Structure 1
Amino acid sequence: MSIPLPPQPAASSGSPVNRLLIGVLAVLVAAPSVSANTSRFRGVNWAVLGDNFVDGPLILNGLDESDDYDTVRAKADAVYAGFEDNLAINTIRLPVNTHTVSSTWWDAYAGVIDSATDRGLNAILGYWEDGAASGGRVNNVAAWDAMWDTVTDQYGNNSLVHFEPMNEPHGYSAAEWTDMAATWIAGHPSVPRERILVGGTGYSQDAKPVCADRRLDGTLISYHIYTFFYGQENYDGWVQTFRDGLGDCASRAVTTEFGAPMDSGLDYSNADSADNFVQYLRAVTDVMRQLNMGSTYWPGTGGKITQGQSDDWYSIQKLHGSGTNLILTTPNPSGVNRLWHGWGPERVQ
């Protein structure tokens, strides 16, 4: 944001009023810019089958730990082609952890990121705590710092790559988390703030403390909402719940996780449905559209394995094939239509 200073008459430029005005304007000029909206992010999460909270390298659904870089690239190209063809995405959210980046798997895993950016996709790299037993905290800060140094050194100059210091920092109080996020930003001064997503407090479901902390000005905010956070609501209740967690922070917030069952036959186009999931997804996508918010659905593929199923019942795409011959199919077109509705009229078709 560039705010020109008004011309000052020579005889009065040193007056207290003019000095105050110039000082205020100087602060505004120096303040990091804040995006007018986040609707430019239209995407999904590519996750590990079984979820990203693993105490080891992150092997995304469809990949194999024995894959080399070229194989990962070929598989990623196939997966992204499916996401683009079926969902018209322009953004992919990907996990990183210390075990991945500090191991030889990182050399191969980089193919997932490189494939995305070579296709012109935004890539959001978010840190998942190393194992589900870490309690929503970074259990090895030195390893976390080293991981982020490696990742930002490698991708900091790529304008399509965005960095999320931690996914769902629920083990920290709001004050602890904002302190930690501010320290991360100060430690990576070359990363533009508009390419940093700071998770809301708790399970990233409260954006307000991050939005209120001036040290975090200019960053984006990662925001999550699921039915299992809050239970049963009607449509109006879900609208209010979404807005309550968001506060006045919509211009900076990206809903990086939200989702509902996609293989249980629910009709998300039915505005008269009394089903909690249907009312939730309709409300959330309506509000995101109204507020010009971007989103990355959870999950595009991968995620928790639902009992009796081969993958996460929230998956908006089903992965088929083997080796590098991978294809994606859509289990619920009405769910995709709600995803597109949330992205607004500017979505890629």
Structure 2
Amino acid sequence: MTWSARTARRLLAGTAALTCCATLAAAPGAQATGASPAATTGSAVLDPASFKGVNWADPRDNYVDGPVVPTGLSTSDDYRTTYRKATAVLGELVRIGRINTVRLPVNPYSVGTAWWGSYRAAVDAATDLHLKVILSYWEGTAHKDGLVDDPVSWDTMWATLTGTYQRNPKVLFEPMNEPFGYSDTDLRALEARWIADHPLIPRHRVVVSGTGYNDHTSTQCADPALAGTYVSQHFYGFWHQGPSYAQWRENLQGRIAGCEGRLIVDEFGSPMTAGYDYTASATGTTDAERKEYVAYLQATTDLIRETGAGGVYWPGLRAADSYSLTTLDPVGRRISLSLNSTSGLKLLEWAWGRGTRPPHPAP
């Protein structure tokens, strides 16, 4: 699926008014650097701020009726070759961004099939590099309705994944990406059933998605049946047009209220190949699109840091995606990545809790 199609699918997620939840908004110039303490639920301590990472995505945007194949991998490769390539790609992402987390797509076409014999090498390579891995289910393109395509195949896929990695504490499981086809009540019931069906997986290794396009998480955080899990929020600049820094903060705060200590923003992104200076003033340009995206990314990264949330950028690597933090530069058998935006990376590092001075001027 092209980026424009992805955008069209998600525009509905941004219909909430930007003026909502005004009482939750911080002052426009606020630049707090403290992080919320880790949340304790039962015997497990949740530490969302420890997730500092990126998505590694299929050029087709992970919505495929077939195996998902992250950029740089190939279904024609065996386990050993896939492991070598994955180690190189992930090693480059660690070198460039010092990430400790990668989010990978999964679907039934990729698990329990011939490709799984090779694709699991990407997961193994990540954990061998001491990275956390979030395995997230993406539906196919046949329906594109925000629902699990085939519950039987979905259950079988998760049985394979949890059986393979239940003893590996670095692997986490996200039952469904962007479940916009479910009502809030039905989604929480689906997530609660997933937890009940996998009793050997500790709750602190489960990431439940927010309602819609992962665009609101408050009800998940308030549901006792989902207690002890991490909660996934998505947030994008193309959901609205023209908001200021303060309005972006206000909008995101209204979506995540009550989720302090549990939240991982495991998709957020902005153009990295357009030459935008994300460390400059968001109001210092007459270019409306540049102004919007600079304000969006500054507000989002500030709020991730201030609330102690995890931050997993979309994407760290995806071919032909203007949001991609890096570009793949294969030379023969050698794989290397180049950084697309130095200023964009500075904001991500700020979100991840690095540094003591904000990388952009106060709004």
Band of TM-score, shorter chain: 0.7 to 0.9
Greater displacement, 221-230 / 252-261: 221-230
SS of aligned partner of 1:44: strand
Matches of 1:187 and 1:158, distance apart in 2: 18
Matches of 1:345 and 1:110, distance apart in 2: 31
Give per-residue Cα distances to partners, 1:13-62, cap 9 Å, x unaligned. Answer: xxxxxxxxxxxxxxxxx963564541100000000012100000011100
For residue 339 of structure 1, what is the aligned residue in structure 2?
348
Matches of 1:194 and 1:346, distance apart in 2: 28
Counting only pairs closer than 5 Å after superposition, residues 170-181 of structure 1 correspond to structure 2 as: 170-181=180-191
For residue 233 of structure 1, what is the aligned residue in structure 2?
243
Is 1:284–2:300 an aligned residue pair? yes
Contact 1:47/1:301 (CA < 8 Å) preserved in 2? yes
Which amino acid in 2 is paired with 1:189?
P
What is the Cα deviation at residue 132 of structure 1? Answer: 6.2
* Structure 2: runs of 5 or more not aligned: 1-39, 286-290, 357-363
Distance of aligned partners of 1:88 and 1:154 in 2 relative to their CA distance in 1, 3 Å threshold: same
TM-score norm. by structure 2 comes to 0.83
Residues matched between the structures, number: 311
For residue 318 of structure 1, what is the aligned residue in structure 2?
327
* Structure number with larger C-alpha Rg: 1
Counting only pairs closer than 5 Å after superposition, residues 218-229 of structure 1 correspond to structure 2 as: 218-229=228-239
What is the Cα deviation at residue 313 of structure 1? Answer: 0.1
Counterpart selection for 2:81 from 71, 75, 78: 71
Distance of aligned partners of 1:181 and 1:77 in 2 relative to their CA distance in 1, 3 Å threshold: same
Which amino acid in 1 is paired with 2:50?
R
What is the Cα deviation at residue 227 of structure 1? Answer: 1.5
Which amino acid in 2 is paired with 1:316?
L
Q: Aligned-residue CA RMSD in angstroms?
A: 1.7
Give per-residue Cα distances to partners, 1:114-139, cap 9 Å, x unaligned. Answer: 00001100000000012263311002
Matches of 2:355 and 2:155, distance apart in 1: 37
Matches of 1:97 and 1:277, distance apart in 2: 32
Counterpart selection for 1:266 from 271, 276, 288: 276
Distance of aligned partners of 1:344 and 1:31 in 2 relative to their CA distance in 1, 3 Å threshold: closer
SS of aligned partner of 1:337: helix
For residue 58 of structure 1, what is the aligned residue in structure 2?
68
Give per-residue Cα distances to partners, 1:121-170, cap 9 Å, x unaligned. Answer: 00000000122633110020000000000000000110000000000100
Counterpart selection for 2:225 from 198, 204, 215: 215
SS of aligned partner of 1:251: coil
Matches of 1:31 and 1:89, distance apart in 2: 26
TM-score norm. by structure 1 comes to 0.86
What is the Cα deviation at residue 67 of structure 1? Answer: 0.5
Contact 1:69/1:111 (CA < 8 Å) preserved in 2? yes
Matches of 2:196 and 2:239, distance apart in 1: 32
What is the Cα deviation at residue 322 of structure 1? Answer: 5.1
What is the Cα deviation at residue 81 of structure 1? Answer: 1.1
What is the Cα deviation at residue 103 of structure 1? Answer: 1.1
Counting only pairs closer than 5 Å after superposition, residues 147-158 of structure 1 correspond to structure 2 as: 147-158=157-168
Counterpart selection for 2:210 from 197, 200, 203: 200
Give per-residue Cα distances to partners, 1:230-270, cap 9 Å, x unaligned. Answer: 33310000001110110120210100000000010100001
For residue 100 of structure 2, what is the aligned residue in structure 1?
90
* Structure 1: runs of 5 or more not aligned: 1-29, 303-309
Which amino acid in 2 is paired with 1:47?
A
Contact 2:208/2:230 (CA < 8 Å) preserved in 1? yes
Contact 1:34/1:219 (CA < 8 Å) preserved in 2? no
What is the Cα deviation at residue 293 of structure 1? Answer: 1.2
